[in-house]
Each structure stands twice: as C-alpha cells, then as structure tokens.
Structure 1
Amino acid sequence: MWDPAKYLDYADLRGRPFYDLIGRIDATEPRRVVDLGCGPGNLTASLAKRWPDAVLEAIDSSPEMVDAARAAGIDARLGDVNEWSPQPDTDVVVTNAVLQWVPEHRSLLRRWVRALPPGAWFAMQVPGNMDSPSHTLVRALASRPEWSSRLGGLRGVDAVDSPLAYADLFADAGCAVDAWETTYIQRLSGKDAVLEWITGTALRPVRSALDDDEWQRFRAQLAPMLDEAYPPRPDGTTWFPFRRVFAVARV
C-alpha cells in the first residue's frame, strides 16, 4: 500500500526531477499524453495544464494513489504498467520514479517505443541512489537474522541502469535520445529527516511486510544508522544527495 499523504511530504523537492524531465519534451500539440504511475496526481496536473487540448491518460497500480489523484481532479485509473500498451494516438509518455519498481522495465521500454507513432516522445526518470546509504543501510538492516525471513529480496543496485545504458537502449530502438543524471542536494528538516523522506518511497516494501510493532522497531533501529550517514547540521537541517537518472527519447 502507498500512503499518498506521506508521499506528498517534501512535494516541492520530490517534484523537481519531474519538471526537469518534462522540460526536455518538445511536443507542441500532442493528441494523447500518458502519465504511467501518476501517483496522487499533483504532477500529472501540470501535464494537463501544459497540453490542455490533449487527451490525458493517467494510470497507477495503487488504489490509494488513484483515489488521491481523482480527488485532485485527475481522471486516473487503476492499472499495471506491465500490461499497458500505447493507443495509436499516443504522442507523449511520461513515467516518473516508477520503473525502479518494475524488474521487466527494460523489455517494456523496447516494446513501448516500437508501438509509439513516429515523432512521439518517451520521457523517464528513475532514482540513481540505490548504492547510497539511504538504500544500502536499509538492505543491510533487512538482511539481519531478525528481519531477513520477511524482508528478503529488496531491490538492489541492479534495479535501474546508468544514463549510458538507457541511451544505448533507446538508440538501439531507433530513437533520438537525450540521457543524463543529476544529483540534487536536498536540505531536509526535522528529526530523522532522511528516515522520514524514504518512508514515503524506498521503505514502502518494508512497511508492507511488517506489522505495526515490527515497523516501529525497524524504524528505531534504522534511524541512528541514517543519522550517522547523514549527520544533521547545527541548525537541525540535513543535506541529502538525491541522484536521479533521466532519458528522453524521440521515436
């Protein structure tokens, strides 16, 4: 389960990569714009504003996120990206911070761009911090005997590729491609700032696997590990390097 309210914590910081991504899409009058993994719809709304004459298609696999998006005025529907295929009039596809959850996404990317019409745009963004302490410490804690029977199989560094690998994938599919990475230095505030940040995203599989008491115990063990890796500043804020991987392909 996803918690839309928790996901929207730091919404302005979480949204920066999305706006950098869609800023590289040069579509003028797309017929259909698709948001694969629309979440609570706060970012999807900007697609509707930019291309008001396009049909907006928004899907997410989380009922909670779909409900939140609909409450925000987005006509979202429940769906699995593994089963999605573009309609013939699909001119723009955006998938933001979704494909890291989809082990098969590389083959899906090839299938999707083959099915898009000439001139269509495909834009993706995924986290590039799977080898950062925010993720390696979670996997290290989850591998301890106390937790390993329930928390095995957390996604590792192979969950996503490098910008170069995605550039090759799209180029081999016959696309023009722009691929890059950016590390945002986010300034987080509050107690256990990094723990609270990843609670809305990276820790979601952990939360789903544990009952309430176990979840609180896991958090209590993880918090000092993260504080050591990301020491708070004297003013109580915490610097958090936030690396993201981007690719924008023109079919």
Structure 2
Amino acid sequence: MRTSPVWSPVQYGTYADERARPFRDLVERVRATDVRTVVDLGCGPGALTATLREVWPEAVIRGIDSSPQMLEAAAEYADDHLSFELGDVREWAAEPGSLDVIVTNATLQWVPEQVDLLPGFVRALRPGGWLAIQIPGNGNAPSHAILRELAETEPYAEYAKDASLRPDVPGPAEYVDVLSAEGCVVDAWETTYFHVLAGDNAVLEWVKGTGARPVLQSLPDDLRKQFEAEYGARLAEAYPQKPYGTVLPFRRIFAVAQKLAQKES
C-alpha cells in the first residue's frame, strides 16, 4: 500500500520566494489566450495557484492536491473563480478537450509513471490548449546524495531506506519526444538557480519541507532527532554558510507544450 508523507504548509513555506520563482518562470512561457478553464495539478498550499487569477482573470481555476494539510491551507484563497479539491495526480482525469491550461509544478517528480500520464493530460486539453510542467532535477545534488547515504546506514536503514528512494525524472529531451508524439509543439529547457538562503543551516530547513520529509517521517521520534542532527551537520559542511547567506544550487526542468489545433482529442 502506498503511503504519503504528511506535508506541512508552514515548513514548505520556508523560502517561499525562492520556491515561487520556477512557477513564475514556467507560467510566463504559456502564451494562452481566451483562457476559461485551468487546472493546477499538485497545487500545494494554494498561494501560487491563486496568482493564476492575475494571469487569466476570466478563467475558472481548480487546484488539486493529495494532501489534506495543503488543501486546508489553500482554502483561504478560494473564491467564485478558484476552488481546491482532494485528488491524486495519478488517478486524475478530465473530459477530453475540456481544458485550456494544465499546470503541474514541482509534483510529477514524485510519480514514477509520470511519462505515462502525459498523453492523458494532452487529451484533456482543447485544441490549442497548453500544458506546463516543472520538476526539480537535483536528485544527484549533495542534499539528496547525503540523504540517501545516511538513510541506508544503521540504525536508520530499517525504517528509512525505502523512503529515500526517488524515481528517475525525465530530462527536457524526453519531454519533447513524448509530448511531440501527442501532437504538441514543445518548448523544454532546464536551468540551475543559485538561491542565496538566509538563516542557520538553511539547506536543512529547505529540504525538511520537501525532499527529506518522507525520510524524516519514516523514523521513530528518537531516531528522527538523531538523523536530523547528523544530516544537518553534513549539509552544513556541504553547503557552508557565508556572510551573505548559504548558496543552494538547484536544477529545474521545464516543459511547455501547446496542443496542435488539428490533433483530435
């Protein structure tokens, strides 16, 4: 049985400006006009989804997420044009040709079968509609390598080894291949942001809200504290704090696809 971590909107909101930048860069490349229907798959706490009202003010926007905790935080942004609902991206489906824009930001990296989901996303778009995807591509970064190594050692491995595993993610070229085969014009790219984070052991605080959370939650309370202390010490060495802050290089992968008008749903 698949279990999911309990996400914390508060912890995830740490360094919110840095986390928001890829979302803004993604949406900026969507050239959709006359937008009436938008879905944000993996909307999280809703703050970024709410910004889509400014981009497409006439649209009805739906945010979908599998975390009740995230949706509870998102509820404050709901209004007549923006709603949120519980749902798993792996099981989500929409009527063919019913949507103008689908956005999925920092979500599909958790889904091993994400490439298999893409044709269904495209089918849900009207001809001329847009699909916008952003995922982290930093699985080989020290933050993740240290996490896996530590989770595979005792006394943690008994609880955390499986929780540290992550699916491989597509690169830009794979997105181009798959989405082009579905009748889309595709713009795919990658970039590395160099975030300058404030605070002590800033990278630990960053990953506690995302990549490290499944591992930390897999551990008993006493081992969790021990793991976090050891992991934090190694992160502080890998990402030294400087007078101006801590630099976190973070690779991101993007794909924006427009469904061709002549492609049948």
Q: Tell me the TM-score range normalised by the shorter chain.
A: over 0.9
SS at match of 2:118: helix
Q: Does 1:57 align with 2:62?
A: yes
Amino acid in the other structure paired with 2:165: R
1:195-228 alpha-carbon deviations (Å, 9 max, x no partner): 1110000011112212332221111010121112
Contact kept in structure 2, 1:129 and 1:244, CA below 8 Å: yes
On the 8 A contact 1:21/1:124 being kept in 2, the answer is yes
- Which is further off, 17-26 or 216-225? 216-225
Question: What residue is the counterpart of 1:160 in the other structure?
Answer: 169
Is contact 2:156–2:219 with CA below 8 Å preserved after alignment? Answer: no
Q: Which residue of 1 aligns with 2:215?
A: 206
Name 2:255's counterpart in structure 1.
Answer: 247
Bigger mean CA deviation after superposition, 175-184 or 143-152: 143-152
Specify which of 233, 238, 245 is matched with residue 229 of structure 1. 238
Q: Does 2:7 correspond to 1:7? A: no
1:155-174 Cα distance to aligned partner (Å, 9 max, x none): 34x43111111111111222
Shift of 1:48: 1.6
Moved over 3 A (4+): none
Specify the SS of the correspondent of 1:190: coil
Deviations 1:106-161 (A, max 9, x none): 100122213422111000000010000011110000000211121123234x4311
* Cα displacement (A) at 1:86: 2.4
Q: Could you tell me how far 1:28 is from its partner in structure 2?
A: 1.3
Within 5 A, what are the aligned runs for 1:62-77? 62-73=67-78, 74-77=82-85
Q: Which runs of 5+ in 2 are unaligned?
A: 1-5, 260-265
Taking the TM superposition and a 5 Å limit, the aligned residue runs for 1:39-188 are 39-73=44-78, 74-87=82-95, 88-153=97-162, 154-156=164-166, 158-188=167-197
CA deviation profile, 1:18-53 (whole Å, cap 9, x unmatched): 000000001111121000011111100111221121
Aligned equivalent of 1:38: 43
Tell me the distance in 2 between the aligned counterparts of 1:146 and 1:175: 49
Shift of 1:175: 0.8
- Paired letter, 1:250: Q
Q: 2:3 is matched with which residue?
A: none
Shift in alpha-carbon separation, 1:70–1:96, aligned structure 2, 3 A: same
SS at match of 2:155: helix
Paired positions, count: 249
Q: Secondary structure of 2:156's partner? A: helix
**1:62-119 deviations in whole A, cap 9, x for unaligned?**
0000010002335211111111112342010000000011111110012221342211
RMSD: 1.3
TM-score where L is the length of structure 1: 0.95
**Contact between 1:190 and 1:236, CA under 8 Å: does it hold in 2?**
no
User: How far off is 1:248 after superposition?
Assistant: 0.3
Identity, % of aligned positions: 50
* Structure 1: gaps (5+ residues): none
| Alpha-carbon distance between aligned partners in 2 of 1:25 and 1:241, rounded to the nearest angstrom | 25
